[in-house]
Structure 1
């Protein structure tokens, strides 16, 4: 297995250097679902809502703009690096977009931001949704306050995106109220899938999701509930950590990451889930703020050999 996980307290600029070239790095800035959950019971795993930063092949990708995007933005500003970021939105429920007005790079004229959304109808693009959120009396300043070079790129789930040459992002629709999009990032022979928010089927597995996941090195999956909690929450649009591991096994995923923790889930409870997940499928991880994962570049193929010659061609 070529996935290495570390908890890194180094400055963001040092981590950013590691993300260049052939590296494929993933960092979690927000791992909670539904609503932020600060407090003494969530210190170790974190209380910020969804935000995942990915760097590979010159691409700088951020999945979702929950409250975790605020500390990410502060770290990016401190790093002083030029910012050219693709923001890939799984959907536009508040816990996944409410941090965007507090993302410092959005106020920097030198920043370039592309905001991708694949879950909305053509008559209601993401800029309209964001503008509605940033409208009185819900919010005191309009979306026009952003000074970054912002591009809004709506698409249909199922399309393939290419944010940078050599970095391919496949997409699919997810099972969530108001729609959501799952993503698979491919670079250098390695792959990461992000599937949140989504609810598994009552019987069998969604072939579209299985196809997206097949053989991925790393999967981040909506694991809001336990199997025991789920029956009382059918139709809410979320899955369980046990289903996360079963799905990873069915799709041949290298390593699964349990993500989108219920806001009521304490550190102690997540410790128990981590131990049970390790027993059920060794190598599984429970996402926590600050966790970094590195997908090592795939080994190059052996050189072709000319069978009519004594030297490699």
Structure 2
């Protein structure tokens, strides 16, 4: 049986932050790798963090040659890493990219990403077999697809132009990924609580402090407090804070982590390079 783990390759929100005072948690945008005990690869989002992951994949000849990527939504900070993902340029790999958006198909997204007007790489330079796969329509109800021995559950949550929550059920563990989510004022989004219910690990948007959250309503993000409230309400085992405001230095993320731990003790703030065995 293979070692199963979650590894965080990018934890920053909105834009990369290669700043000296943000090195502890890192400046790359959203990318989370899941390796299952059956040696399946599931990657959540392809922000700038996927660049370094791609470099490590190419170096490791034993790494699985089928890679599955699930996109929460199609904003630039969650897709821009596609351009720098080295396995795309290697014929040994099959790369399946899954997503759902009511207004934008994945074929439209692929046309935007593979466009030499904006990036000087023509389609035939990508040697991998690349499959863009639209998920069956996402809604307020939890939908599911099977991926080998795993189940991927998903549902909609509030964000400008829409976004999806994911639950990855590996048989051994249930990992829930909820990023770029703004809960309604004074309550939690029902879809988020439902999909997170009883999970082993909840990775949740914690973009803002409480004060900043009130100042940026409509931006489509959560506070650390809302992340902790979801963990409590959904009775999850562990909360991982994620998707930090690009303006926050390491000390502010530490403050948010400590405050969240006062509400939900089994909380950690993800940092670039963090690996959790599952």
Please say if 1:69 is aligned against 2:53. Answer: no
Q: Does 1:163 align with 2:143?
A: no
Paired residue total? 272
Number of the residue aligned with 2:268: 285
Q: CA RMSD in A?
A: 1.5
2:258 matched to which residue of 1?
A: 275
* 2:86 aligned to which of 94, 97, 104: 104
Contact 1:87 1:113 in 2 (8 A): yes
Partner SS state of residue 150, structure 1: strand
1:144 deviates by 4.5
* Structure 1 residues 29-60: Cα deviation after superposition (integer angstroms, max 9, x where no partner): 00001000002111111000000000113320
What residue is the counterpart of 1:185 in the other structure?
Answer: 168
In 2: Cα distance, 1:182 partner to 1:280 partner? 23
Q: Is the 8 A contact 1:119 1:173 kept in 2?
A: no
Distance 2:202 2:143 in 1: 19
Q: Which moved more, 1:185-194 or 1:29-38?
A: 185-194
Q: Is the 8 A contact 1:131 1:143 kept in 2?
A: no
Describe the SS at the equivalent of 2:151: strand
Consecutive unaligned residues of structure 1, counting only runs of 5 or more, are 1-19, 296-313
Q: 1:274, CA displacement in angstroms? A: 2.2
Deviation of 1:255 after TM superposition, in Å, equals 0.7
- Structure 2 counterpart of 1:209: 192
- Asked if 2 retains the 8 angstrom alpha-carbon contact of 1:108 and 1:147, the reply is yes
Determine the C-alpha separation between the residues in 2 that align with 1:212 and 1:179: 16
Contact 2:55 2:86 in 1 (8 A): yes
* TM-score after normalising by structure 1: 0.83
**Residue 252 (structure 1) shift:** 0.4
Q: Residue deviations 1:258-308, cap 9 Å, x none? A: 10011111112112222222222212010100101122xxxxxxxxxxxxx
In structure 2, the gaps of 5 or more residues are none
The structure having more radius of gyration, on CA atoms, is: 1
Structure 1 segments of 4 or more deviating over 6 A? none
